[in-house]
Chain A
């Protein structure tokens, strides 16, 4: 199993540009989520999904969109990039049920918005 994969690893955008951060998992996990981590800070939840076709907002959803058309993929879209969105983005997945809290995290995407 590849686990949780994220692409790209690094990205530089200009203010106002849009892009999609990709996240995929091959463990047939129902739950997937996106976090951002700013320098010296903890992780903050952006959006999450409890299954295909179901998404919900986390703590800091503004400026981001998500969709979950398949179990495997959970892309995160930045609509109009702003310097405040400079951060490291982590995707995570886990099974439902009793193993829900044993989450697998991807390696992260480091995004800089100029």
Chain B
């Protein structure tokens, strides 16, 4: 799996967009970018994933640069409940029996 780099922490004002960056400069052509988050004391929660096109679902948007070396997770209107640690993971879609590896992630604090 390609290595990812994320800032350790970020703050965002409630109601504003939260933009969480992730660098993955060694990503391979068949590797996807996955985002998870972990709200305090809960299990991780899958958010979104993408290969090269931008993706949007009910939770977030994922913007992947054209060279695929970095991406940004966007929470369009952050709320206090979005305060969590966000993990960016890069791996092939059909990963067989190789388990997910969670790095240190970005701790997002949404401030009222």
Asked whether any CB of chain A lies closer than 8 Å to the CB of B100, the reply is yes
Bound complex: CA A33 to CA B41 (Å) = 18
Chain-B contact segment, one of A12-20, A70-78, A90-98: A90-98
**Chain B contact residues (Cβ within 8 angstroms of A): what range?**
20 to 34
Which secondary structure dominates where chain B touches chain A?
A: loop
Bound complex: CA A108 to CA B96 (Å) = 24
Chain B residues lying within 8 Å of A105, measured Cβ to Cβ, are 43-45
* Contact status B96-A101, CB under 8 Å: no
Min CB gap A102→B, angstroms:
5
Bound complex: CA A45 to CA B100 (Å) = 8
List 7 interface pairs A-B (beta carbons < 8 Å), by A numbering. A90-B43, A92-B44, A99-B93, A100-B95, A101-B49, A103-B46, A105-B44
On A, residues with C-beta under 8 Å from B are 4, 31, 33, 42-43, 45, 48, 50, 56, 58, 88, 90, 92, 96-108
